[in-house]
Amino acid sequence: MSRLKDSPTTALLDSASLPAAAPETDRVPPGLTVAIAGSDRMSNGALRALVDETGLVRKSEEWAWPNTVKLRNAQDVPDVVFLDLSAGMGSEFQFAQELSRLRPAVPIIACSNRNETNPEFLLEAMRSGIRDFLQKPFNRTEVHSLMRRLGEQCNTPMEKKAATGKLFVVLGTKGGVGTTTVAVNLAVQMARLPGKRSLLLDFSRPMGDVAALLDLEPSFQIRDALENVKRLDSTMLAGLLTPHKSGLQVLAGAARLDDWQEATAATIERILEIAQQEFDLVVMDLGAFYSPEWRSVLHRSELLLISEADLPGLAKLHKHLGALGNLRVDPSRVRLVINRWHRQDEEALRKIEGGMRLPVFARLPNSFKEVTEATVRGVPVARSGDPLAAAFEKIAVDLAGTRSGQYKKSLLGQFFSR
């Protein structure tokens, strides 16, 4: 089987998640049902012979040309579809989309004379539902290996992994308080914790800035996860992520206003479920936007509420606390983080803590020069020797529940002592 080399879509196209085996009461004979679609009858016949000889197929058929096939419901779609792209008719992806619409979990294997590497082509293939590629002429060993993998997945019920990862939502009281800066630097510090797999989700609206702050050029964004959420699994999510040199994985934010069209409470929940299954620590940059539809997300997370200690910031903070109360968010899950903190802010903060009964969880010192330089360079703030970096280190350790001996100690006390 022809594999894609050094491509972000390799993991996506290797995902061949199949429905659970039918219950015994259905009396369905063992084995896969397979269809081979394409206009090249000789190629179709050769592939069908290789597939049948594996002994894993209950029924196989050839579709002379995809457009002649009438599909009405999921029962019309077999367990596996091989789709020949060699004719170059331009309608193959539309046909793949129709197959995925009727049966979202069906693995569609594209067959081509070339080893496809064009990123735009691969992205369109992924969005249409194609999961893997076979290069022609077909190799018996590769076809047999692929069929064994599909057969194993079909006949082995997948145990649902528990979503045990911790979720931290970073929410600003208003625009411009540094929410994304906090989310990025916190997530980077979490990625540096020993034995912790960390993920940063850019859910800031209308468009995200995480990729720019980390100097990343993502091939996929949140839109790709939302549009393919019915087929989304851990392998597909891994293929959508962009790695950062710190070890952090990033799901890049929206690049256009209409990227959020597929966002619903259900689609967001599905993305978070898989993220928390695969990662120990998940940081979500929510910007300054949320609504009642986000209630379930807020309820399952530790919420870092980012504010400044000036009058407008504290006024907004009061309103947000009221809104979160109306959404029945547990106050014990809310962590108040004061960004751009000065020592002269302490009097105002004492009044806030007394009047709103919300202790300040962390104070991030005002390091305008360091933050500006980091933003221009597209890097996190310095790891050591900088008070702001030290503050992020301590927040990461505290939230992750890491023992102090597992992380390098820093000069932290002056910024977190009362």
Residue 352 belongs to a domain with what CATH number?
3.40.50.300
Residues 315, 261 share a domain: yes
C-alpha dihedral (45, 51, 54, 55), degrees to nearest 10: -90
Residues 272, 132 share a domain: no
Phi–psi pair at 33, nearest 5 degrees: -100, 135
264, two tokens = 């619903």
Report the predicted TM-score, pTM, of the whole model to 2 decimal places: 0.65
Residues 358, 235 share a domain: yes
* Secondary structure (DSSP) of 297-366: HHHTSEEEEEE-SSHHHHHHHHHHHHHHHHTT--GGGEEEEEEEE-GGGHHHHHHHHHHH---EEEEEE-
Nearby residues of 355 by Cβ (< 8 Å), 6 or more positions away: none
Residues 189, 141 share a domain: no
Residues 18, 106 share a domain: yes
Per-residue pLDDT band for 308 (boundaries 50, 70, 90) equals confident
Average pLDDT over residues 139-155: 83
Higher pLDDT pick, 353 / 242: 242
310, two tokens = 């000036």
Residues 59, 185 share a domain: no
**Is residue 157 predicted with pLDDT exceeding 60?**
no
- Flag the least confident range among 13-22, 50-59, 100-109, 207-216: 13-22
DSSP 8-class letter at 252: B
Tell me which residue of 414, 379, 408, 385 sits closest to 396, measured CA to CA. 408
In a domain, 4, yes or no: no
Residues 318, 176 share a domain: yes
In a domain, 118, yes or no: yes
- Flag the least confident range among 4-13, 137-146, 191-200, 349-358: 4-13
Average pLDDT over residues 397-415: 53
| pLDDT for res 233 | 82
| pLDDT for res 25 | 39
Residues 339, 271 share a domain: yes
Range of the domain at 270: 166-416
Q: How many helices (H) and strands (E) does the chain have?
A: 16, 13
CA gap 311, 341 in Å, rounded: 13
Residues 208, 260 share a domain: yes
| pLDDT for res 168 | 96
Tell me which residue of 155, 152, 204 sits closest to 181, measured CA to CA. 204
pLDDT tens sequence across 68-77: 677 888 888 8
Tell me which residue of 295, 175, 300, 187 sits closest to 241, measured CA to CA. 187
CATH classification of the domain holding 36: 3.40.50.2300
Higher pLDDT pick, 59 / 408: 59
* Number of domains composing the chain: 2
CA gap 59, 304 in Å, rounded: 54
| pLDDT for res 28 | 41
Average pLDDT over residues 293-297: 87
**Is residue 118 predicted with pLDDT exceeding 80?**
no
pLDDT tens sequence across 358-382: 788 888 887 656 666 666 566 666 5
- Flag the least confident range among 156-165, 180-189, 313-322, 340-349: 156-165
Residues 172, 102 share a domain: no
Nearby residues of 162 by Cβ (< 8 Å), 6 or more positions away: 277
CA gap 226, 149 in Å, rounded: 27
pLDDT tens sequence across 35-61: 999 888 888 999 999 999 888 898 999
Per-residue pLDDT band for 347 (boundaries 50, 70, 90) equals confident
Identify the domain boundary among 136, 155, 174.
155
For the sheet containing 242-243, what is the strand order?
Answer: 242-243, 249-251, 198-202, 281-285, 166-172, 302-307, 334-341, 360-365
